[in-house]
Amino acid sequence: MNELNLTVSSSPHIRAKHSTASIMQNVIIALLPALAVAGYVFGVWALALVAICIIASVVTEAVIQKLLKKPVTINDWSAVVTGVLLAFNLPVNAPWWIAVIGSVFAIAIVKHCFGGLGQNFINPALAARAFLLASWPGHMTSTAYIPLSDTVTTATPLALLKAGDLANMPSTFDLFTGINITGCIGEVSALALLLGGLYLIYKGIISWRIPIIYIVTVGIFALLVGQDPVVHIFSGGLMLGAFFMATDYASSPVTVRGQIAFAVGCGLLTMIIRLYGGYPEGVSYAILLMNVATPLIERFTRERVYGVSKKKKEVKA
């Protein structure tokens, strides 16, 4: 007999190093380039809005978990990600209370009313954006956009496209870098978002399927209706939506074929809303609609289980 104090637990006895927190931290790292561009294009207030959203989100999460007598999990960084993403979906002229109300709505209603992390059936930041847009359209639409080179509000590229005002359309280079573009805080620079998105794919945090298929679907749709795919791909919230919103784990399918269907659906809905809907921009509603369809998509795209096959594949041997 010996005096060893041994832990007995069920296998496996080793685990991968990553954690929920490390994944969330990587998402934040991936959002930093876009944050830098936001600060450069829109100035300090844009960064202040991001800070307000982060603080409001984290505080809301902590308060709710305290009230519900659940363990407080703000150190998993997920509320920070929601805060940044919500801020990225606000126009720079949004007042501070819009940021606060949006954050509280995202965390309290969309996330915790449905069971907290991983249980929200739609993307909290996008749902909050939709809520704000419906409640305070004046604070949330084009009148609130101010680009760097100007102090007067101007229309977003997609609004120009919608209005047929191609003369004032920014150059492709500007669209790609986001330097002279107007729009929500985090959506203007396709380049910065692409960098962040590729980082997430490289790190294995998101699969390439949803963002790439989403973007390609938008491009093909634009080509088919005779519009410039480059404008559609690089403008509006497509890059932000495709890499950071549509890939939200909780509200997108876990199956391979499901992710493909989800991405194609997002692409089609985005273009249908952009071209035929009342709004110039369709990304957020497209993703929200597909979020709602996710459980259904998953049910129909379950993978064939090993050995449970069509009889054909069995061995005759």
Partner 1 sequence: MVMKFKHITFKGGIHPPYRKESTAEVPLGFGVKPDTVTLPMSLHIGAQCTPIVKKGDQVFLGQRIGEPNGFVSVPVHASVSGKVMVVEERPHPNGDRVMAVVIESDGSDTVDPSIKPYGSLEAMNADAIKKMVLNAGIVGLGGATFPTHVKLTVPPDKKVDCVILNGAECEPYLTADHHLMLAYPEKVVMGLKIAMKAVGVQKGFIGVEDNKADAIEALVKAIGNDNSMEVYSLVTKYPQGAEKQLITAVTGREVPSGGLPADAGVVVLNVGTAAQIAESMATGMPLYKRLLTCTGDAIKNPRTLEIRIGVALQSVIDQCGGVTKDPGKVIMGGPMMGIAQFTTDVPVIKATSGILCITKETAEIAHPSNCIRCGKCVTVCPISLQPLYLAQYSQRNKWEKCEAINAMDCIECGSCSYICPAKIMLVSSIRVAKREIIAQRRKGN
Of the candidate spans 9-17, 40-48, 99-107, 273-281, the one that interacts with partner 1 by CB under 8 A turns out to be 9-17
- Of residues 276 and 306, the one with the C-beta less far from partner 1: 306
Site string for partner 1, 77-116 (x = CB under 8 A): -x-------------------------------------x
Q: Is 167 in the site for partner 1 (CB under 8 A)?
A: no
* Assigned token pair, 311: 């009889």
Closest separation between CB of residue 272 and partner 1, Å?
Answer: 27
Of the candidate spans 37-45, 128-136, 175-183, 246-254, the one that interacts with partner 1 by CB under 8 A turns out to be 246-254
For the chain, the first-to-last Cα distance in angstroms comes to: 53
Contact status, residue 246 vs residue 230, Cβ threshold 8 Å: no
Amino acid at 88: F
Amino acid at 53: C
Q: Is 312 in the site for partner 1 (CB under 8 A)?
A: no
- Of residues 248 and 281, the one with the C-beta less far from partner 1: 248
Tell me how far CA of residue 239 lies from CA of 141, 157, 217, in angstroms. Answer: 19, 14, 13
Burial 140-173 (b: 16+ CB within 10 A, else e): bbbebbbbeeeeebbbbbbbbbbeeeeeeebeee
Contact status, residue 146 vs residue 93, Cβ threshold 8 Å: yes
Q: Is 249 in the site for partner 1 (CB under 8 A)?
A: yes
Q: Is 299 in the site for partner 1 (CB under 8 A)?
A: no
Footprint of partner 1 on 17-46 (CB under 8 A): 18-20, 22-23
Contact status, residue 240 vs residue 280, Cβ threshold 8 Å: no
Q: Is 168 in the site for partner 1 (CB under 8 A)?
A: no
Interacting residues toward partner 1 by CB under 8 A: 1-2, 4-16, 18-20, 22-23, 73, 76, 78, 116-119, 249-250, 253-255, 302-309, 313-315, 317
